[in-house]
Amino acid sequence: MATSNSGSLRERLLWPVLLFASALPLLLVEFPPLVDLFGHLGRYAIQTELAERPELQPYFSYRWQLVGNLGADLLVELLAPVLGLEPAVRLIVLATQLLAASGVLAISTALHGRITPFAICALPLIYAFPFQYGFLNFSLSMALAMLAFAAWLHLRQSQVAWRAPLFLAVAGLIVWLCHAFGWAFLGLLCGSASLHARWIEGRRGADLVLRVLADCGVLLLAIVPMLVWRTASAGADTNEWSILLKIVWLVSVFRAGPPMLDWLSAGFLAAVVVAGCMLRPVRVHGAMAIAALLCLTAFVALPARVFGSFYADMRLVPYTLIVALLALSAPKLSLGVKRIMFVGALAFLSVRIAATSVDFVDKDRLVQANLPALDAIPRGARVVNFAVEECGFQWRLNPLRHLGGFAIARRSAFTNDQWEVAGANALTVHYAEGEPFVRDPSQSVVIDECADSGLPTLAQALDRLPAGAFTHIWIHGTDSADAALPFPAREIWRGPTGAVFELGT
């Protein structure tokens, strides 16, 4: 493996510039406009302050349990009492992206001795579809897994290589606690690096297997809490393998800009990987090539849902590309060609960060336009929340889908967009009077009949609503004129894309 050259002037300048670019989309918005994050915000309020919020106690309970999905939850528990809930969540999201960018750059440095243009091309992938969806614990675990892998590589090459197994044991448990997916990813990276190194040494057969286990076997310590976790949540589903969905995920790596730009960006990265593997001046690092192939195999094999967690296969796509790009280097090219490659990589990064920033600012503007509705909702209200989705497949994710989480966090109100997944979170919703409008996805509706969506129309949902169970209706994503309420109600707030109605008046 290459010797680190991070002490050079170029490297010292590149790190802060690239980290700032990686954080920029989040620095331009009031609150990260990630789809699930608003729902997480509501759950964090219940998690941290349920004892001090008597208004929420009849409807929610929260019981801590040891699961491989606690990364941001634990950080919120630590930071919210000091910073406040929303600032703590903003800081955690920002830190996640800075850690992810640092992991990409650190792996490049550990493998190739420098930040390669291929690593720069990989940076926009930390804003890929999984992050856009708001899979915060997952994103944090993957960021920490990349950093842990880079640190493990450095330790193995250092004079204190004996510390590498100890470090990996601790890092593996921490990453697993954040999210089990990151732990599996860390094992895949370390196992591939060990397999490649031992193969180069001439190890074969049982000796090769034993050597790899000696290098990485400490990661298996996380199996102990995992067995406890999976036993306690044995009812969680694992299903929905679909080749059609996998094709969609492959072209949906980026969902943070105009579709054509996102498709061209994904195509550009795929072309870079293919060309890098075929062109002789480009070197392919064996360990990362193995890791990329294993990631691709796992993507093909995984169903869409694993242990109740959705989009399990989709989450791997951007990281497969990251690993493949990190496998590439071109040390023998002329200085002029290297400069052209760096300029091209920086241009690609700039385009992607600009597109993501524009998308985030636009989504945040939409969110902020609907949040004044909270001023009309009294503390402790029972709110049924309807987020209007567009009919058919939408490239751009709807940032308002879990907007009701703000009503929980800011107004201690009940809303119907929290989710319960066995083994995935510790939240329980219990409000029988409001059934079936008490949990996700009861908040998602469409305006007109739309067979492709599988969602009810707003009118159908309102017809089935047990109106006596709620004090307010909050509709967002459409003009209030589209809401013809079949029971007495009074409009108490109207915005450009939403309205609040008080029931029984």
What is the model's pLDDT at position 5? 45
Predicted confidence at residue 231, as pLDDT, reads 60
DSSP characters over 21-84: HHHHHHHTSSS---TTHHHHHHHHHHHHHGGG-TTTTTTEEE-----S--HHHHHHHHHHHHH-
Are 153 and 142 a contacting pair, CB within 8 Å?
Answer: no
pLDDT of 349 reads 98
For 158-309, strand residue ranges (E) read 283-284
pLDDT along the chain (505 residues), means of 10: 53 91 98 96 97 96 91 97 98 98 97 95 97 96 98 90 92 96 96 95 92 94 80 58 86 89 95 91 94 95 76 92 96 89 96 97 96 96 94 85 96 94 80 94 90 86 93 88 81 92 86
pTM value? 0.94
In the chain, how many H helices and how many E strands? 18, 9
The DSSP string of 78-91 is HHHHHH-HHHHHHH
pLDDT given at position 182: 96
> Quick one: CA torsion of 311, 317, 318, 323, rounded to 10 degrees?
140
d(CA 172, CA 370): 41
**Integer CA distances (angstroms), 105 to 11, 101, 178, 193, 240, in order:** 10, 6, 21, 17, 35
